[in-house]
């Protein structure tokens, strides 16, 4: 999953519309920290200080102008906020392909956007759009790639769950050593940032007997030390690293439904598990069979290592849906 990607790996869903149908030529995503000049008289160089506000801009260019039902014009022209209470829009985009576990970006909030339609001689009419996001901007992993389903489904049953330890955006913390003790004390060369009760995945430690590699629950003993519940009686270990196997601060699920027909009910859920065996509901999206449809649902507390998507349908028909989850 990690590596280089091309134009075929792009994803753009806005308020339940799949805007790749516009045959976009370009898509850019820019996030910046707003700063203020803080240099003054007597300074020999410029100084800029962050003001604690960020700006996110999404720009799409060269797409085809289309006025058919459910087309780009319907998606873009209807999205202009007219009052401070205008409904927020949900946007999901990505550049690394549509696979379970691939990274995506989710945004929800009031969007200030421009919609530019361009006619040209001997050419198809094009449409460009720029969104400036005011609200949630989160990075996460795809739990359910955009796909059409005709019956209940569960990505755990399909064998395509999200494993947080494989998230390439995670910070990998190196390990210096682990002691011969009960329990063994793990030492890191940098602050580990853990809290007692966190679950981590240790790998690459050599020499330790008993072996300390694997999924472990930690007890913090210092900013660069912790124990992992292993009795090392014969020999200490060196090297290795760890990543988190759960997260403590909740997160948000993003659902986009681009097409739905025939069904009387559709309830989508994200479920989590510590062991990829026993799953429990983490969050539930609204029961909805109207397209296009998009929703962001936030959840607090611990999010376990593994995530799956559960789609429950009533009736006969089809639905095209996407889901991602961003850990806080």
296 and 199 housed in the same domain: no
Phi first, then psi: what are they for 46, rounded to 5°? Answer: -70, 150
Q: Give the DSSP H or E segment for 39.
A: none
70 and 31 housed in the same domain: yes
227 and 272 housed in the same domain: no
305 and 160 housed in the same domain: yes
The more confidently predicted of residues 325 and 30 is 325
pLDDT bin (cut points 50, 70, 90) of residue 144 is very high
Q: Decide if pLDDT at 298 tops 90.
A: yes
1 inside domain: no
Whether 257 and 319 have beta carbons less than 8 Å apart is answered as yes
2 inside domain: no
Task: Return the pLDDT at 22.
Answer: 87
40 and 154 housed in the same domain: no
171 inside domain: no
212 inside domain: yes
What average pLDDT does the segment 47-60 reach?
88
pLDDT bin (cut points 50, 70, 90) of residue 55 is confident
83 and 159 housed in the same domain: no
CATH number at residue 265: 2.60.120.680
What average pLDDT does the segment 224-229 reach?
97
pLDDT bin (cut points 50, 70, 90) of residue 27 is very high
Q: Give the DSSP H or E segment for 172.
A: none
Whether 78 and 89 have beta carbons less than 8 Å apart is answered as no
126 Rama sector, left if φ>0, alpha if ψ -120 to 50, beta otherwise: beta
Closest by CA position to 185, among listed 137, 228, 246: 228
169 inside domain: no
32 and 117 housed in the same domain: yes
Q: What is the dihedral of CA 287, 289, 291, 295, to 10 degrees?
A: 10
Task: Return the pLDDT at 80.
Answer: 61
The proportion of the chain whose per-residue pLDDT surpasses 90, expressed as a percent, equals 77
- Domain extent, residue 86, equals 7-141
Q: Decide if pLDDT at 260 tops 80.
A: yes
CATH number at residue 74: 2.40.30
pLDDT bin (cut points 50, 70, 90) of residue 205 is very high
Q: Which of 71-75, 122-126, 213-217 has the lowest mean pLDDT?
A: 71-75
pLDDT bin (cut points 50, 70, 90) of residue 1 is low
d(CA 144, CA 141): 9
Task: Return the pLDDT at 83.
Answer: 63
133 and 229 housed in the same domain: no
Q: Rounded to 5 degrees, what angle do the CA atoms 119, 122, 126 make?
A: 30
Q: Decide if pLDDT at 138 tops 60.
A: yes
Domain boundary among 220, 239, 258: 239
107 inside domain: yes
Q: Which of 27-31, 69-73, 184-188 has the lowest mean pLDDT?
A: 69-73
Task: Return the pLDDT at 86.
Answer: 62
Task: Return the pLDDT at 191.
Answer: 98
88 and 132 housed in the same domain: yes
CATH number at residue 199: 2.40.30.180
Alpha-carbon Rg of the chain, whole angstroms? Answer: 24
295 and 216 housed in the same domain: no
58 inside domain: yes
Domain boundary among 205, 239, 273: 239
154 and 283 housed in the same domain: yes
The more confidently predicted of residues 184 and 83 is 184
Q: Model pTM?
A: 0.91
170 inside domain: no
Q: Decide if pLDDT at 7 tops 70.
A: yes
Q: Decide if pLDDT at 137 tops 90.
A: no
229 and 266 housed in the same domain: no
Mean pLDDT of the chain: 92
Domain boundary among 218, 239, 260: 239
Quote the number of domains for the chain: 3
């Amino acid at each position: 999953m990690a590596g280089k990607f091309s134009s075929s790996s792009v994803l753009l869903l806005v308020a339940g519309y799949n805007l790749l149908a516009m045959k976009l030529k370009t898509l850019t995503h820019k996030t910046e920290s707003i700063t203020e000049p803080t240099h003054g008289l007597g300074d020999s160089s410029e100084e800029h200080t962050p003001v604690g506000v960020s700006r996110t801009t999404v720009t799409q260019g060269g797409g085809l102008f289309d006025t058919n039902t459910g087309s780009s014009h319907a998606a873009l022209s209807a999205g202009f906020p007219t009052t401070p209470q205008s409904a927020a829009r949900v946007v999901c985009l990505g550049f690394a392909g549509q696979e379970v576990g691939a990274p995506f970006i989710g945004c929800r909030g009031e969007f200030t956007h421009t919609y530019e339609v361009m006619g040209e001689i001997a050419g198809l009419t094009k449409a460009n759009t720029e969104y400036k996001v005011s609200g949630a901007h989160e990075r996460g992993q795809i739990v359910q790639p955009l796909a059409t389903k005709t019956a209940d489904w569960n990505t755990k049953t399909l064998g395509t769950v999200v494993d947080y330890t494989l998230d390439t955006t995670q910070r990998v913390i190196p390990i210096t050593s682990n002691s011969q003790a009960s329990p063994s004390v793990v030492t890191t060369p940098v602050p580990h940032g853990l809290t007692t009760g966190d679950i981590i995945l240790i790998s690459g430690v050599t020499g330790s007997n008993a072996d300390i590699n694997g999924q472990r629950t930690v007890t913090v003993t210092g900013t660069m030390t912790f124990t992992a519940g292993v009795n090392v009686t014969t020999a200490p270990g060196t090297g290795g690293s760890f990543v988190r196997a759960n997260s403590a601060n909740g997160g948000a699920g993003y659902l986009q439904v681009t097409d739905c027909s025939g069904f009387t009910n559709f309830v989508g859920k994200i479920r989590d598990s510590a062991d990829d065996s026993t799953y429990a509901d983490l969050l539930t999206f609204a029961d909805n069979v109207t397209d296009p449809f998009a929703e962001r649902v936030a959840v607090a507390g611990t999010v376990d290592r593994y995530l799956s998507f559960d789609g429950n349908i009533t009736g006969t028909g089809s639905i095209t849906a996407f889901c991602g989850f961003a850990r806080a």
